[in-house]
Chain A
Amino acid sequence: MSSTKTSRIGEEIWKTRVDKVNAELVTLTYGTIVAQLCQDYDSNYQDVNKQLDKMGYNIGMRLIEEFLAKSGVGRCANFRETADMIAKVGFKIFLNVTPTVTNWTSDNTQFSLIFEDNPLADFVELPDDGRAQDELWFSNILCGVLRGSLEMVSY
């Protein structure tokens, strides 16, 4: 499937088939989740990252179903297609952004997603405690989501 076709699918689903909600409500709710974790784990940011990943994993396992139901896409032929699907359909229909797929390794088994815009971190400034900015991975939940949902389609 060509890359432009993939992004057309994403656009189309976002416009016609996705129930919407105010973005700020989502952003702020995610903010309170992270704030609560920071409090519960006494600002041990490694543990916060871990917990966020775990929560994301739980979400991912269920989110893939929603993804398949909404998009109706079939199996990807190769990993490059998978990457495109994640960026242009997956992120588009859940977060209305399309990260850039880049940094492929020569054996096509690794890539990076670069976010120009991250709705989860919209009003966010990390605490100036000398650690959070280095140690807290604020949007780490996304990594968990990817891990969980890809696992469900046997990656």
Chain B
Amino acid sequence: MAVPPRHATMQSISNGSTAQGTDRPQTQQTQQAQLSQQSPGLRVPSNRKTIYDRHLNRSRNAELSRASFAFLFGEMVTYAQRRVTGIQDLEKRLNEQGYPLGLRLLDLLFYRSTSTSSSALSSSSTSSSPPNRPLRIITLLHLIHGPLWRLLFNRAADALEHSVSPDTPNEYMITDNDPMVNTYISAPRDMSMLNCAAYVAGIIEGVCDGCGFETKVSAHNQPTELWPSRTVFLVRFGDPVMEREKVLERAGVK
């Protein structure tokens, strides 16, 4: 399966010009002609209110209406649905949209955990020194289960499990009994397999990849009587990760 490099999605917005690297000089000339009165390059507001002048924690405790999220997310799913061939394709698309978010949230998590000493990342680092990037699978999964979930949904995930099957030691499961993203999504009957939390799966995948853990994450419906929209995120680590895990275990790295 030919998959384009995943970082391509990131570049499209943060560094759009590199995407068209070859024809850049030519287009730049024509643009420069158009923009001759204005200074080229990135324009910043004169009051210096750029995103770099703001404190990163500014929006940390900010809240918005849940309805706004539901509307945006619903529209995002509807839009994605028009361009896909099936449920798997749709979930893949949602996953791809979440992925760049994961990469960024990882940095944000680390940044916040250093500035607030212990509270945010207490499960992955108990010392007050800046927490290190997780090296072992369990530390990484705790980071996702606790701090990442709290950042996104204001609570920890509901369960973290390891596959009991000896054939799949690389599979871990993170459970959310009632994923917020699915609250206002109702799938038609012929698409009952669809789980729009694939978007969150993409975020998890981004966080893992950003940490250097090659992973595939997928979201699955596993309703129980009590929790009809219970979702299990299946995290499958790649073989190189499992090999490294063994080496680290022998070396006693925590």
- List residues of A whose CB falls within 8 A of some B CB: 18-36, 38-40, 43, 51, 55, 58-59, 62-63, 66, 93-96, 119, 122-125, 127-133, 141
Say how far B7's CB is from chain A's closest CB, in angstroms.
12
How many residue pairs at the A-B interface have CB separations less than 8 Å?
Answer: 146
B6 to chain A, nearest CB (A): 12
CB distance from B68 to the nearest CB of A (A): 5
Query: Given known contacts A19-B66, A21-B63, is B71 in contact with A59 (CB within 8 Å)?
Result: yes
Interface residues on B, range: 35 or more
A5 to B199, CA, bound (A): 41
B152 A58 Cβ-Cβ under 8 A: no
12 contacts between A and B (CB under 8 A): A21-B153, A26-B64, A33-B97, A36-B97, A38-B12, A43-B19, A125-B14, A125-B51, A128-B16, A130-B40, A133-B42, A133-B43
Contact of B97 among A32, A63, A127 (CB under 8 A): A32
Q: Which residue of B lies closest to A23 (CB)?
A: B62
Within 8 Å CB of A119, what residues of B? Answer: 59, 62, 64
Instruction: Say yes or no: A24 contacts B59, CB within 8 Å.
Output: yes
Measured in the bound complex, the distance between the Cα atoms of B69 and A25 in whole Å is: 8
Q: A35-B12, A129-B16 are in contact. Are A55 and B75 (CB under 8 A)?
A: yes
Which of A25, A95, A122, A130 meets B152, CB within 8 Å?
Answer: A25
Q: For the complex, give the distance between the alpha carbons of A18 and B16 in Å.
A: 37
List the B residue with the shortest CB-CB distance to A134: B35
A95 to B108, CA, bound (A): 22
B192 CB–A CB distance under 8 Å: no
The B contact surface, by secondary structure, is helix
Docked-complex contact A124 and B51, CB < 8 angstroms:
yes
Q: Check B98 for interface membership: any CB of A closer than 8 A.
A: yes
CB of B75 within 8 A of CB of A59, answer yes
Looking at the assembled complex, report how far the CB atom of A122 sits from the nearest CB atom of chain B, in whole angstroms: 6
| B151 part of interface (Cβ distance < 8 Å) | yes
- B116 close to A (CB within 8 Å): no
Least distance between B177 CB and chain A CB atoms (Å): 17
Residues of chain B with a CB closer than 8 A to A38's CB: 12-13, 16
A32: B residues at CB distance < 8 A: 76, 97-98, 100-101
Query: What's the Cα separation between A151 and B227 when bound, in Å?
Result: 38
Across the interface, name the chain B residue whose C-beta is closest to A59: B71
| Chain A residue at minimal CB-CB distance from B74 | A59
Verify B98–A21 contact, CB threshold 8 A.
no
Known A-B contacts A21-B180, A58-B78, A95-B64; the reply to A30 vs B72 at CB < 8 A is yes
Distance, CA A78 to CA B60, complexed state (A): 39
The CA-CA distance from A127 to B41 in the complex, in Å, is: 10
Q: Are B64 and A23 in contact (CB under 8 A)?
A: yes
Q: How far is the CA of A93 from the CA of B68 in the complex (A)?
A: 9
Contact A96 B15, beta carbon cutoff 8 Å: no
